[in-house]
Amino acid sequence: MPRYALKIEYDGGPFSGWQRQKDQPSVQAAVEGALAALEPGLPSIAAAGRTDAGVHALGQIAQCDMGKRWEGFRLSEALNYHLKPHPVAILAAAEVGEDWHARFSAIERRYLFRLVARRAPLTQDRGRAWRVPQPLDAAAMREGAAHLIGHHDFTTFRSTMCQADSPLKTLDEIAITEAPYPGGTEYRFIVRARSFLHNQVRSIVGTLERVGAGSWPPGRVADALAAADRAACGPVSPPDGLYLAGVRYPEDPFQG
C-alpha cells in the first residue's frame, strides 16, 4: 500500500485531542472519516504528536496508507472536501517510503505558545491564546528559561499521567518574543526538542509566566528543575495558547 505524509492544520477547540476516543470528537477520527470517504477500510493513521484537548496545530504531520496511488495535490483536495465542516485542513500531501513514519522518523518538534497580557477579555483570539491581566517581564522569563536548555530530568515539568519511560529530555531552544497587541502585549514562546513529555510545554510556560509576573525570581526555575518533583512546578498553562507548529525530518517529505 502506498504511504503518504499529510501536513495538517487544525483548531483544537472542538476536539478532545488528536487521538481517537470513544464517544468523543477527535482530530484523528475526523481525518480517518475523510479517508474512509475516499477508500473504505483503510488502516488507522499515525501522527507525529498526540495533542491534548484544546491544543491547536499549524503543522501536525500524519501518515496514511492508501489502497491506490494518489497525486499529492489531488489527495489533499479530496480530503479537504470531505473534512468539511470540521476546522481541519490538509495543507499538503506527499508520497513517502514504506519505512517512513510520522512519529519515529521525526528528529525535531516545534511548539508555539501564545500568551496575551491585557486587561480586556480576548475576542478575536478567544480560545487561541492565554490571556493574563498584567504585563510580563520578557527579559526575566528568558533568564528563567535559560536554566531549562539542554539535557535534564524534567520530572518537575511533566504530567503525573505521562507515560514516557524516562523523564530525561533535551530542550534545544526556548525563544521568547514580544509584540504589541490591541490593548496589551503578546508574548510568543517557541520551544524546540526532538520529543516532549506530556504537558511539558504547558508546564514550562506556566512556570515562566510566574517569573514574568514577578512572583518567582528567575533562579527559582533552576531550583524547580533540580527538585525533580511535580509539586515544585508553577501552574500549568491552559491549552488554548498551545500550537504544534512544525515537525522536522532528515528530509522534508513535502519537498521534491
CATH of residue 231: 3.30.70.660
Q: How confident is the model at residue 255 (pLDDT cuts 50, 70, 90)?
A: confident
Active site residue 223: no
Mean of per-residue pLDDT scores for the chain: 97
* pLDDT surpasses 80 at 128: yes
Residue 254 counted as domain residue = no
Using left for φ > 0, alpha for ψ between -120 and 50, and beta otherwise, residue 107 falls in alpha
Q: Are residues 7 and 21 in the same domain?
A: yes
* pLDDT surpasses 90 at 183: yes
Q: Are residues 152 and 92 in the same domain?
A: no
Q: Which of 23, 52, 153, 165 is catalytic?
A: 52
Q: Are residues 45 and 172 in the same domain?
A: no
Q: How many domains does the chain have?
A: 2
Q: Are residues 75 and 153 in the same domain?
A: no
Q: What percent of the chain has pLDDT over 70?
A: 100
pLDDT number for residue 158? 96
What CA–CA distances, in Å, run from 97 to 60, 63, 65, 67, 215? 19, 11, 11, 15, 51
Residues 67, 201: Cα–Cα separation, whole Å: 37
pLDDT digit string (tens) for 72-103? 999 999 999 999 999 999 999 999 999 999 99
Q: Are residues 179 and 117 in the same domain?
A: yes
* pLDDT surpasses 80 at 2: yes
pTM (two decimals): 0.96
pLDDT number for residue 163? 87
Q: Which three cell numbers stand for residue 195?
A: 520529543
b or e along 54-71 (b: 16 or more beta carbons within 10 Å of the residue's beta carbon)? bbbbbbbbbbbbbeeebe
